[in-house]
Structure 1
Amino acid sequence: MVVLNKIYTRTGDAGDTALGNNERVAKYAPRVAAYGTADELNAQVGVARLQADAETDAALMRIQNDLFDLGADLCRPEMEKDAEAEYPPLRVIQAQVDRLEAEIDVMNADLAPLRSFILPGGTPLAAHLHVCRTVARRAERLAVELAAQEPVNPAAVKYLNRLSDWFFVAARVANGGGQKDVLWVPGANR
């Protein structure tokens, strides 16, 4: 259980922070950048929820919870020692990826196939979901970069990849099932 009774600790005043295993690293470390961007994404999802109907809001709330799971996963580096840990770390699992895929399939079933890329925008909710999509892609890039340097849960990377797809399809749904999508016209302003 997390207890936060004092918000400031002064322990990071010198530019470092503690990971989930209590190891101290620079605040600009790749691992901190990855889970910090997941946190930023979570805040963007909170903004999107302000525009959402009840069903979409519930899905976005599930995603926010998953993003906290993802942050907990990324802030705890030692995957090979997980089984030995006094408190087993929280890891993203394949079922979370599978849920996103199933939701994407349901949302996408009634959408017309795209014949062009779409410009981010349309309705306010769609615009917010496109921002979420781009932040999810950045979080994924940072997680992949981290994974090139040290162990990262592969399901966490898959989750971020699928999540950006989820936001894309959800934005199309929010655009009246794609009716308000703004299509890219290559070279239109030459």
Structure 2
Amino acid sequence: MGNRLSKIYTRTGDRGETGLADGRRVPKDHPRVEAIGELDSLNSQLGLLLAELAEARERWPSLQELFEALSPCQHRLFDLGGELAMPDYHALATEEVERLERLIDKWNAELGPLKDFILPGGSRLIAQAHLCRSLARTAERRCQSLNALEPLRPVGLAYINRLSDLLFVTARLIARRQGLPEVLWQAASKPHA
């Protein structure tokens, strides 16, 4: 990747188009740009989660493991965005998907089975992990929409799917390691007829 930003604004997007790395110009609401944008949103929120984990690990040292496991995900999300911006560029490997699967299995074993639906909350960290999870699902939907028009590499689609699963398990594990109960969903009372 030889292109570096030397100028932040170019004025080339003022008419609602943007350039892809392969030279194509597409509308800013093109499914490819939408997918890239959702990956960027997720990456930004993941950065916030990592910053908050870094601060919290002083009080809860067991959160260090989560910080170390999630840190590479920011780089892989950027790789996936690069693949979307440059269709001939391949950065993600199946080993990355397998790494996430191993983490999910390991952390899920620590948590035990889920008996109820849980809601985002309990602490700022837990809620932030759930926010990242929901953004990962949005990014996944955008990638699938693009895939229906222009087929994507299966490894990227698998990665974003596993990442959302990992973030769900992360939220649960943060609660456990902070010693907080998960916020369980309480169904509404049945309306009286």
- When normalised by structure 1's length, the TM-score is 0.88
Cα drift, residue 113 of structure 1: 0.9
- Identical counterparts, % of pairs: 46
Cα drift, residue 100 of structure 1: 0.6
1: distance between equivalents of 2:182 and 2:3? 42
2: distance between equivalents of 1:20 and 1:97? 25
Instruction: Return closer, same or farther for 1:121/1:134 CA change in 2, 3 Å cut-off.
Output: same
Does residue 30 (structure 1) correspond to residue 31 (structure 2)? The answer is: yes
Match of 1:55 in 2: 65
Q: Extract unaligned runs of 5+ from structure 2.
A: 58-63
Cα drift, residue 8 of structure 1: 1.3
**Amino acid aligned to 1:147:** N
Are the equivalent residues in 1 in contact too, given 2:126–2:171 (CA < 8 A)?
yes
Are the equivalent residues in 2 in contact too, given 1:91–1:153 (CA < 8 A)?
no
Cα drift, residue 51 of structure 1: 1.7
2: distance between equivalents of 1:58 and 1:189? 45
1: distance between equivalents of 2:98 and 2:105? 11
Instruction: Return closer, same or farther for 1:20/1:2 CA change in 2, 3 Å cut-off.
Output: closer
- When normalised by structure 2's length, the TM-score is 0.87
Cα drift, residue 130 of structure 1: 0.2
Are the equivalent residues in 2 in contact too, given 1:92–1:153 (CA < 8 A)?
no
Match of 2:168 in 1: 168
Match of 1:86 in 2: none
RMSD between aligned residues: 1.7
Cα drift, residue 187 of structure 1: 2.3
Does residue 104 (structure 1) correspond to residue 93 (structure 2)? The answer is: no
Cα drift, residue 122 of structure 1: 1.4
1: distance between equivalents of 2:109 and 2:141? 28
Q: Extract unaligned runs of 5+ from structure 1.
A: 83-88
Instruction: Return closer, same or farther for 1:17/1:126 CA change in 2, 3 Å cut-off.
Output: same
**Amino acid aligned to 2:6:** N
**Amino acid aligned to 1:184:** W
Aligned residues: 180
SS at match of 1:175: helix
